[in-house]
Structure 1
Amino acid sequence: MALTVNVTAAVRVLVPLLPVTAAAVLLGGCVAPAPRAAPPAATPAVSPAAAGRAAGELEEDYRNVIRDVLPSVVQIEAGQGIGSGVVWDERGHIVTNAHVVGGERSFRVTVATGEEVLAARLVSSYPEQDLAVIRLDAPPPGLKPARFGDSSKVEVGQIVLAMGSPLGLSGSVTQGIVSATGRTVSEGGAGGGTGATIGNMVQTSAAINPGNSGGALVNLAGEVVGIPTLAATEPGMSGGPAPGIGFAIPSSMVRTIADQIVRTGRVTHSGRAALGIAGRTVLDDDYRPAGVAIAEVARGGAAADAGLRAGDIITRVGDTDITTITSLLEALASAKPGDRVPVTYLRDGRRGTVTVTLGEM
């Protein structure tokens, strides 16, 4: 299932550094020659044989991880779309993206080896976090659940593998590193996207292509540390893909959401902060986004308890300026229920600030 996200930060063009030739300028007069610096200590050379052994050991690590995890990654056909999924348990539960299942309720699931095509049905979808769980009607013997790791221990530079069905090529594997952690990304609602704003995502250089969504981002210990979900697009390339910039939902959030769906059939505690309002972006006199006007305040919600009311225009939450609905959602995505944050607003042209104890979505 194809899904891309526009990265709002400007893309910088890097100019290669050219070698600079330094010319010696001689000044009149004689000076004593500077003492020669001691030659640098020689760096021990790595023999081709040692380098070959190191490469061979890394390749063997890759093969071991792929043999261990790939049987737990499936291809999901949802209507006319194709995405990926990860086996959650031996009872046939499979976790994937909400935008992969879309509005469908029945699916065809193909295991990584392509030997079996199985029927599955939707258990529940949670578009707010772009996660869903489906279940096989008749789980085959030996169905192998994946091991989900602790995404809080993921570090920049860590080698990861992305497994899934890019462009319908089931059982495909790409390799990269963790490029960044803690990203907050807003999906586009077009092209099947849920429009969700997701916090604490893992950014990776492993290739994420249409069909990878819902698959597995795996460390070299064979643990799933994220669910590949988004591929960035570069505005300067007519919305084309920006190579090496993909995003995965962290495994800690996947466990939180999937476990509730499997146990109760729905999400009861999202772990996501909420203000308890309905709002819309407002524009200033120059037609620029200037804040979020509160259209409705939920009774008993965080905003109502703090004294905010319909008609107020939110301009800042914590240390973040608020200009649009998206910027408000991104500010809340990095917070937790129960956090106390200052909220600045305009009411009848006057500025005010209240401290809001955030609720839960």
Structure 2
Amino acid sequence: MSLFDDDFYSTRVKRRSRFLSGSESRSRGYRQGSMLRVAFISSISSSLFVVILFALLGGRADSEQAAKPALGGGQSLVETSERIISASEKVRPAVVSIINVTKQALEAQGGEALEDNELPYNTNMGSGVIIQKKSGKAYIVTNAHVLADAGDVQAVLVNGDRKKAKIVGQDAVTDLAVLEVDDAGIDTVVEVGSSSKLRVGEMVIAIGNPLGFGDSLTQGIVSSTKRILPISMNQDGNYDWEQEVIQTDAAINQGNSGGALVDLNGKLVGINSMKVAESGVEGIGFAIPVDDAMPIVRTLMEKGKIARPYMGVYTMDLDLYLDSAGSGDWLDEDSSSDEGGEGEDFEIAAPNIPKGITEGVIVLEAVGPSLDAGLAFNDIIVALDGQAIESTLQLRKHLYNTKKIGESVKVTYYRDGKKMTLDVKLAEKTEEQE
């Protein structure tokens, strides 16, 4: 049996309907009106059902689309790959290879000029970034350690052209240096970005000259935006400075030093400086933040050096002495005295360390301002300007961060077990004292 009256589907009008009584006609009209309303409601319901079903299927498709590999901001992997290519093409012409044929290497070959492709033993390899062109010159930032014992320094452009480089200035504390070359054939200067805007997990590119493979690049992410590392500037194993660096897992190898760390917009965010080369350590490299580097670079370009207050003491951390030399092994050894004449031996006196004093620095030699003020060998410095000093690192940070050339620093120290104070007038360190 049909749910509805057959007349609802019929286009024919039955003959007998013409003769229906008035009441029957009204009743039949009412039934037909009801059926029309039911049909209308059914049609609307069906339409709504179709719309909802389409929306659900469409939402599932959107979810599947969203589940495809993508990066922050909705960037697909394909888009990111294109950004890496674009950024590298933008920066690569501004990154050069640095060749430092050391003085030792030049002396070994009799001081003769190098051939174009000649790289003698004891040649330092590094990288550099072109940051400025001005008055026919191009200026390159690199690491100071790349220029150690600098002899003949050259910059090799991305097209293979070699240019003789002049050292404009360098700073061992920040490990930064600036070179100058003629700007012939140099068309690209790196765009300086902001390291303060970097985020952990952001993708970066390292461009440089690893292992002598010029125009090489690697990619990675930012592992930390502010990693504090202790630094031994003279590589003696004693930490005498701290460096704030960007940590990345982009491959950084020997020769990458001084190269560019850039973001995916092709902007310079750091100067590649070092990697952890210990056995079993992978994916840890460091770069000097560009926000910290550029003020140093500008000063080097203007003045050729970074002027810092100089106290004139060579020191050893007291806790290191107590741990390693406290047994007196190093004190019993005989040493030759420059004043006593060749072959005359003497015994080095041990410092007189007061009971309970375990932190400070032992003066091994006082020169310049400290010598003039009265500091002497084996004095134990425990405070500067009333602030406790536990290490050479703290001593240097106090001088560099809080004092100026020409100011005086109040030194609290022990001599022969007695606590004393004196004032040292800080001077500017000369090249001979570096």
Do the structures match in fold with TM over 0.5?
A: yes
More strand by share: 1
The answer as to whether partners of 1:337 and 1:359 remain within 8 angstroms in 2 is: no
Select 1:276's aligned residue among 287, 311, 335. 311
Displacement of 1:107 in angstroms is 2.3
Displacement of 1:231 in angstroms is 1.2
Displacement of 1:55 in angstroms is 0.4
The answer as to whether partners of 2:222 and 2:247 remain within 8 angstroms in 1 is: yes
Identity of aligned residues (%): 32
The TM-score, its normalising length taken from structure 1, stands at 0.67
What is the match of residue 134 of structure 1?
179
Cα distance between partner residues in 2 of 1:320 and 1:232: 32
Displacement of 1:131 in angstroms is 1.5
1:292 aligns with 2:337: no
What is the match of residue 110 of structure 1?
156
Cα distance between partner residues in 2 of 1:205 and 1:357: 45
What is the match of residue 313 of structure 1?
380
What is the match of residue 51 of structure 1?
69
1:244 aligned counterpart, secondary structure: coil
* Matched residue count: 300
What is the match of residue 283 of structure 2?
244
> 1:155-170 to 2 correspondence within 5 Å?
155-170=199-214
Cα distance between partner residues in 1 of 2:324 and 2:180: 51
Larger radius of gyration: 2
Cα distance between partner residues in 2 of 1:247 and 1:129: 13
Displacement of 1:222 in angstroms is 1.9
For structure 2, list consecutive stretches of 5 or more residues without a partner in the other structure: 1-59, 102-122, 327-357, 430-434
Q: Aligned AA for 2:169? A: S
Displacement of 1:163 in angstroms is 0.8
Displacement of 1:296 in angstroms is 2.8
1:128 aligned counterpart, secondary structure: coil
The TM-score, its normalising length taken from structure 2, stands at 0.57
The answer as to whether partners of 2:229 and 2:244 remain within 8 angstroms in 1 is: yes
Deviations 1:261-308 (A, max 9, x none): 2223x12446xxx6724132142276369541234376499xx7xxx9
Displacement of 1:208 in angstroms is 1.2
Displacement of 1:48 in angstroms is 8.2
Cα distance between partner residues in 1 of 2:185 and 2:248: 34
Cα distance change, pair 357–188 in 1 and its aligned pair in 2 (3 A)? closer
What is the match of residue 81 of structure 1?
124
Deviations 1:203-258 (A, max 9, x none): 22211100000101112232212111111133xx3xx7x21222212213321222
1:284 aligned counterpart, secondary structure: helix
Displacement of 1:58 in angstroms is 1.0
What is the match of residue 257 of structure 2?
213
Cα distance between partner residues in 1 of 2:199 and 2:398: 24
The answer as to whether partners of 2:313 and 2:370 remain within 8 angstroms in 1 is: no
What is the match of residue 29 of structure 1?
none
Deviations 1:87-118 (A, max 9, x none): 02122111111111222243232222x34222
The answer as to whether partners of 1:163 and 1:174 remain within 8 angstroms in 2 is: yes
What is the match of residue 143 of structure 1?
187
Q: Aligned AA for 2:161? A: E
Select 1:259's aligned residue among 298, 301, 325. 298
Cα distance between partner residues in 1 of 2:229 and 2:412: 22
Select 1:101's aligned residue among 127, 147, 157. 147
Q: Aligned AA for 1:258? A: V
1:208 aligned counterpart, secondary structure: coil
Cα distance change, pair 108–277 in 1 and its aligned pair in 2 (3 A)? closer
Select 1:184's aligned residue among 229, 239, 262. 229
Cα distance between partner residues in 2 of 1:351 and 1:203: 43
Cα distance change, pair 62–360 in 1 and its aligned pair in 2 (3 A)? farther
What is the match of residue 154 of structure 1?
198
More helix by share: 2
Cα distance between partner residues in 2 of 1:145 and 1:205: 26
The answer as to whether partners of 1:93 and 1:134 remain within 8 angstroms in 2 is: yes
Q: Aligned AA for 2:221? A: I
Cα distance between partner residues in 1 of 2:381 and 2:64: 60
The structure, 1 or 2, with the larger RCO (C-alpha pairs under 8 Å, 6+ apart) is: 1
Cα distance between partner residues in 2 of 1:279 and 1:128: 16
Cα distance between partner residues in 2 of 1:336 and 1:247: 27
Deviations 1:26-51 (A, max 9, x none): xxxxxxxxxxxxxxxx9x85448842
Cα distance between partner residues in 2 of 1:258 and 1:203: 21
The answer as to whether partners of 2:141 and 2:178 remain within 8 angstroms in 1 is: yes
Select 1:175's aligned residue among 204, 207, 219. 219
What is the match of residue 89 of structure 2?
67
Q: Aligned AA for 2:173? A: E
The answer as to whether partners of 2:139 and 2:179 remain within 8 angstroms in 1 is: yes
The answer as to whether partners of 2:311 and 2:425 remain within 8 angstroms in 1 is: no
For structure 1, list consecutive stretches of 5 or more residues without a partner in the other structure: 1-41
1:129 aligned counterpart, secondary structure: coil
Cα distance between partner residues in 1 of 2:201 and 2:193: 17
The answer as to whether partners of 2:100 and 2:152 remain within 8 angstroms in 1 is: yes
The answer as to whether partners of 1:345 and 1:353 remain within 8 angstroms in 2 is: yes
Cα distance between partner residues in 2 of 1:158 and 1:69: 18
